[in-house]
Structure 1
């Protein structure tokens, strides 16, 4: 019989483990032994999930039984009432709820009017005296057809405001605090998803949290700031302005801008966060700006999309201007052309210089026959004079890839995939296996400081459609011109096994240095990504 390792653990550690289990499962642990009968009662967390209630409700006569939401909230009230009777000085520290409001009768199904449908019962839980010592509140919500179905939460009703450290809410319709004295002095993490705010409420909440360091806003909507936007929906996410002097981490994900919001998109997002170190943005390509410098900015992750008529969007390069002090940049765009979009109107390059950037990571598509990819890469190399590491995930646009042979289809046999590769290679002439030079915008421009002094590591991932493609041309250019390059990690999809890129890179570099009478002091090596 195997040893009972759990029983060897101290009580406080067992209580910590039980705190991550839903209330019913934690209570069920009492059958394990006499020692476990009181452990779950002394845990400081309450975890209630509506999904088991919904599963138990299947097949029941709904006319004679409470709804899953009613049953869940009733149990939550009972559990809170039982906490003071547990004894032993047990104080509720963490409350986790998972709700499903989709089946609640409501006439509201529009972002124009996301009214709460819970009759104030969720707010009542947080107003309970037993919740006064809460340090973490996590409320998730199932999304279905009615994405704007919400529960209400007046901030003034939160009994735990003085002790709260972590607040994570989904599908909440906030009401502003009744008094400016209501503060969250210990709140360090705030994560909101699909939430709605009255005008000024979000800023007031942030102002009331002087210790806030981590902020995540996922598709949060607010009322327009003034009557000038009467044609807008009652709630929208632009314009968006937020001030938080203590935040070091901001994750911001936005809705797609609707047609009626295009003018407001030009106003965009303005942030005043001088302590910011990490910033992640996912959404449309709109104006982004910092009202004050963030000298400690170490990482920016930008995933911006240009949709439809590009003239209504902010150029990707201009979005990065306020964040040029970052030391690491991860950039996702639909097409490499987006990097140079807007240059004609501007009269030249608009991508800022990144004087501190050490790591650049690109996840992009490019058009098969377009020369713009080389120009975009030239802009990036020139803008990163001290870059030491470059990570590239480059693939051709979907319209081209849809026509390529599906050699990597896992449903096909290895033999069929090998025959596809063999037939494609056999049809090549010697000249077709030659790798062309990149356009002159790269090869004739020596203003790439990073290639001369700092670039030491390159990672290149792609699926090769043919040997003489932009990705292979770029790899060849980098190994021939990056003077201090020490290593290149490559995954070319292993499509051309006779002309496999990893087998060529070291030879290209050696030949190039030999022609120029140079010595490779970096001891360059190639690694194949697994």
Structure 2
């Protein structure tokens, strides 16, 4: 009886038969630490890491309660990570002399919390530029501090960024590292350092830490295709030329506005731009960036005007306070680009003044041709009850809170008001945000602090009461059904659905008035399975079109 080819080769390492270039390409999709471990598999794999073309390392977000002091965290976590990045870069050159040189570097990605000495960053950047392949991607999100805000626009309470160096950003001495040896300096392994009262905390501890001046060759690299910088100082030279750069993302860049503008203007092929939390920028001129296709402005509270001349602009994202009417301006050639995808996220729970609704409505006039619109506010839809008509809109996503204590009739009325302005809507997505924590819970870093294990099992976001019936007839009074819901909407998505009186009433209204519905998706918030099952059965009974497919998760 013969053996199949698969069975015959089952005991052989066929992966090792591949050439180094192909194996290196496969390993490039792994974290650099995992890719480097492949060298220990066998002598055949000893030099494979030199064929890895992407070095990617991300420091996991520090737990809220890890039991470590900040200095101990620096010594045990930050320093080894920084040393690991340096080792991962230079290990690509570690190969026997007769062998071929390492492959060109396609991407360097480093994302970390805390900060790193600018000399070390300069070493990374210089090495990456020296070994750059065409289309180089450079992603340096350093000193990572969550730019994430709660839906109520309060910063998430986390520890401040920390630095493993006594002098950071504009000076200081880098760690005494062997670029090839990832081992820590002797003092980093000395447990006495973590508890000694003679140790001083790093200079500037507890404040945002910035990386000092980046190497000048970075701003004239013809191979650079994608650049992402976080908590860095640009200090751009007078002459900047990035002829191949297509993606630029800047976060927490504190340079003067002229440096940011100079960098952006030096990118003739720029197609994707994000400016995030750059407080010094008050105006942007993008008239020369004619190939821009995606623009994101996030948390730039001092930014007053953005001049756009890109006729190819397709996607726009704005996260911030309600902007003035003049925030976006078209080029001197005339009209505003026909944006097909827009995301507008405002700080306001409810507009403080009636004029704010007028300003927001005027701002949204720029997006009347969009096909996909994402509207986010603290209370779902609360800021968007005075919308213009969107005749081309086919996908609408509403993001915000619909709380257990909210008035069901108001939640339905607000949603219907918005839907009435989208006559050709086909896909409706509702993303339900969780209720806010009280101030005391936020200061204690979450609702779970101080709870015993048994209590944590019962902590969840789901709400269900079989005796809490919904007076559907009462809700229908003075609530006209939007025409798009009756005639056009074929798919409804309920994301992070928690139940509760207001959410259940809204879901029942929508599903009970959508005869054209073909597909329903519902993703539940975390909670007991029996509550999820009860909510699922309830929702299934509300769908008026019995032939519609239903997916629950």
* CA distance, structure 2, for counterparts of residue 37 and residue 320 of structure 1: 58
Q: How much does 1:15 deviate?
A: 1.7
Answering whether residue 407 of structure 2 is matched by residue 369 of structure 1, we say: yes
1:152 and 2:184 matched: no
Unaligned runs of 5+ in 2: 1-9, 61-67, 145-160, 162-205, 442-454, 526-530
Secondary structure of residue in 1 paired with 2:207: coil
Q: In the superposition, relative to structure 1, how do residues 3 and 410 fare at CA in structure 2: closer, same or farther (>3 Å)?
A: farther
Match of 2:352 in 1: 310
- CA contact 1:318–1:350 (8 Å) conserved in 2: no
Summarize the Cα distance change of 1:188–1:412 in structure 2 as closer, same or farther, 3 Å threshold: same
- Of 294, 298, 316, 1:279 maps to 316
The structure whose RCO (Cα within 8 Å, separation 6+) is larger is 2
Partner of residue 105, structure 2:
93
Select between 182-191 and 368-377 the one with higher mean Cα deviation: 368-377
Show the counterpart of 2:7: none
Q: Given that residues 248 and 277 in structure 1 are in contact (C-alpha distance below 8 angstroms), is that contact kept between their aligned partners in structure 2?
A: yes
Give distance in 1, aligned partners of 2:94 and 2:426: 59
Equivalent runs, 1:457-476 vs 2, <5 Å: 457-460=491-494, 462-466=497-501, 470-476=502-508
1:301 aligns with one of 343, 346, 354:
343
1:206-217 → structure 2 map (5 Å cutoff): 206-217=264-275
Work out which of the two has the higher radius of gyration on C-alpha atoms and give 1 or 2.
Answer: 1
State the alpha-carbon separation in 1 of the partners of residues 494 and 109 from structure 2.
Answer: 43
Do the aligned partners of residues 130 and 502 (structure 1) sit closer, same or farther apart at CA in structure 2, a change above 3 Å counting?
closer
> Residues of 2 paired with 1:503 and 1:22: CA distance?
43
Is 1:168 equivalent to 2:207 in the alignment? Answer: no
How many angstroms apart in 1 are the aligned matches of 2:245 and 2:91? 25
CA contact (8 A) 2:142 2:232 kept: no
Secondary structure class of the residue paired with 1:459 = strand
Contact 2:257 2:282 in 1 (8 A): no
1:74-110: CA deviation from partner (whole Å, max 9, x where unpaired) = 8699779989978636453235264879577xxxxxx
Q: Match of 1:529?
A: 552
CA gap 1:121/1:81 in 2 versus in 1, 3 angstroms: farther
- Which of 187-196 and 387-396 deviates more? 387-396
Cα deviation, residue 28, structure 1: 5.9
User: 1:389 maps to what in 2?
Assistant: 427
Aligned to 2:380: 336
Q: Secondary structure at the match of 1:175?
A: coil
- What is the 5 A alignment of 1:414-425? 424-425=465-466
2:368 match: 324
Contact 1:138–1:167 (Cα < 8 Å) also in 2: yes
Cα distance, 1:215 vs structure 2: 2.4
For the 8 Å contact 2:115–2:209, the answer to whether it is kept is no
Tell whether the 8 Å contact from 1:48 to 1:97 is kept in structure 2 after alignment.
Answer: yes
Hey, what's the Cα distance between the residues in 2 that align with 1:359 and 1:477? 19
Conserved 8 A contact 1:502-1:526: no
Two-structure CA RMSD over aligned residues (Å): 4.7
- Give 2:328's aligned residue: 289
Alpha carbons of 1:242 and 1:128: their partners in 2 closer, same or farther (altered >3 Å)?
A: same
Report what 2:45 is aligned to.
36
Give the aligned partner of residue 13 of structure 2: 4
| 2:388 equivalent in structure 1 | 352
Greater alpha carbon shift after TM alignment, 195-204 vs 164-173:
195-204
Tell me the CA shift for residue 269 of structure 1. 4.9
Displacement of 1:70 in angstroms is 9.2
The count of aligned residue pairs is: 437
> Could you say what secondary structure the match of 1:282 adopts?
strand
1:438 counterpart residue number: 475
- Secondary structure of residue in 1 paired with 2:484: helix
Quick one: distance in 2 between partners of 1:499 and 1:30? 50
1:360: Cα distance to partner?
0.9
Q: Give the conservation status (yes or no) of the 8 Å contact 1:215–1:249.
A: yes
Deviation of 1:354 after TM superposition, in Å, equals 1.0
Cα drift, residue 351 of structure 1: 0.9
Deviation per CA, 1:168-219, whole angstroms, max 9, x where unpaired? 222211122332xx42222222233222333333333223222222223332
Aligned equivalents of 2:399, 2:46: Cα separation in 1 = 53
Shift of 1:378: 2.8
TM-score (structure 2 length as normaliser): 0.64
Cα gap change, 1:10/1:176 in structure 2, threshold over 3 Å: closer, same or farther? same
Aligned partner (choices 439, 450, 457) of residue 411 of structure 1? 457
In the aligned structure 2, how far is the partner of 1:525 from the partner of 1:92? 52
Does the 8 Å contact 2:308/2:330 carry over to 1? yes
Q: Which runs of 5+ in 1 are unaligned?
A: 105-116, 222-235, 258-263, 341-348, 403-408, 510-521
Post-superposition offset of 1:325? 1.5
